[in-house]
Amino acid sequence: MSVRKNIKKTTLNQYTKDYVFDEKSHIRKTADGRMYLPAVYCHNGHKLMTDDARFDGLRGVKLLVKADKSREIIVVSPFLDDQRKEGANFPEGTHLQICCPTCQEELEKLIPCTCGYGAYRRALYLTPNPKDMGAIGVCDTYGCPQSFINEDGELLFMVETEE
């Protein structure tokens, strides 16, 4: 599997200037302006937020990941463009099955990722109902920072890499 190497820059691009950040928003801002996800769900509506690990005081996103014969739990940061995580580590470029820790079903494929052959962005939903058209697309290749967030079918944010 080919994984993009020599990445020089990761950029968080915002595609809308009029997004309202408030207590009802699916994406929120801290007092210092950092954006985060207050709630995330699998395609069956299971909550993925956990108190098992906190990032700057906020609950992390708990995922079951599988690679080869390994089944591990990792908790990732709820902040946009933040690569912090707790739990298992894998070699950079390892293809993972990302699953809900409750139902253990693999997260749905959204679109291919540009980081390598066979890589896909997997869906984490902003509400318990996937039909609400709000999702985060995270790459299933370990170490790939590329992701996006859409809401109501509109692209809001995308983390992209430049060589």
- Give residue-wise pLDDT tens across range 95-125: 999 999 999 999 999 999 988 899 999 999 9
Distance, in Å, from the CA atom of 124 to the CA atom of 61, rounded to the nearest integer, reads 10
Average pLDDT of the chain is 88
Q: Which domain holds residue 13?
A: 9-162
Q: Is residue 64 part of a domain?
A: yes
Q: Mean pLDDT throughout 16-24?
A: 79
Which amino acid is present at 119? A
Does residue 1 fall inside a structural domain?
Answer: no
Is position 96 within any domain? yes
2 is a domain residue: no
Residue 74 resides in a domain: yes
Total domains in the chain come to 1
Note whether 97 and 66 are within 8 A (CB): yes
In-domain check, residue 33: yes
What confidence tier does 10 reach under pLDDT thresholds 50, 70, 90? low
Residue 114 covered by a domain: yes
First to last CA, the chain: 18
Tokens of residue 133, six digits: 């058209």
pTM: 0.87
Report phi then psi at 73, rounded to 5: -100, 135
